[in-house]
Amino acid sequence: MARKQRSDSGFTLIELLVVLVILVVLFGVFFVIFSPEKRVSEARNAQRFEEIRSIAGAFSTYEVDHSGATPEGVDTTLRMLGTSQEGCDTECGVLEEKTENACLNLEAPFVGNYFGRIPYDPLHGSREKTYYAVKKTEADQVFVVACRPELGEHMAVER
């Protein structure tokens, strides 16, 4: 009578199922921890912050180049940057202040001298409505704010 020998070199079904369950749980945990939507929103917020810093820096450089003068149209009224003549009234982040209906077009003094193009919000903005707003403060500083940051953040720069 011939005897069959059993090979112990493979995995049992139970072992494979346990490993599969562990992998599924780990992928679930990593998906929650490393939420791609949140990371994309954080990246857009970082871009917004860099762009409002860039706008504030351009205003500082403009003022140095023009003996302390600010571009025409910049005063204590909050105005969204852009080329649109209407529909620019929106509440802006940290101030909870509404911008004027007409955008403030700063392409002539800024594009080519301080920017290749006026920066605009990576999710909502366009050349017509940037969703970045500016005004002069009581202390004669330029205040730049991102109107629609994500994740409940408030972004503003004052120079």
CA 67, 136, 73: angle at the middle one, nearest 5?
Answer: 75
Averaged pLDDT for residues 125-133: 96
Measured distance CA(149)–CA(52) in Å, rounded: 11
Q: Report residue 66 as tokens.
A: 């023009």
Other C-beta atoms closer than 10 Å to the C-beta of 78 total 22
Residue in the structure block whose two tokens are 């409940």: 152
Contacts of 115 (CB under 8 A, 6+ apart): 54, 58
Phi and psi at 25, nearest 5°, equal -65, -45
Q: What is the mean pLDDT of residues 69-83?
A: 94
**CB contact at 8 A, 22 and 14:** no
Give the integer Cα–Cα distance in Å for 124 and 29.
31
Is pLDDT of 1 > 80?
no
pLDDT digits (tens, 9 = 90+) for 9-40: 788 999 999 999 999 999 888 877 777 888 89
Query: pLDDT category, 5, cuts 50, 70, 90?
Result: low
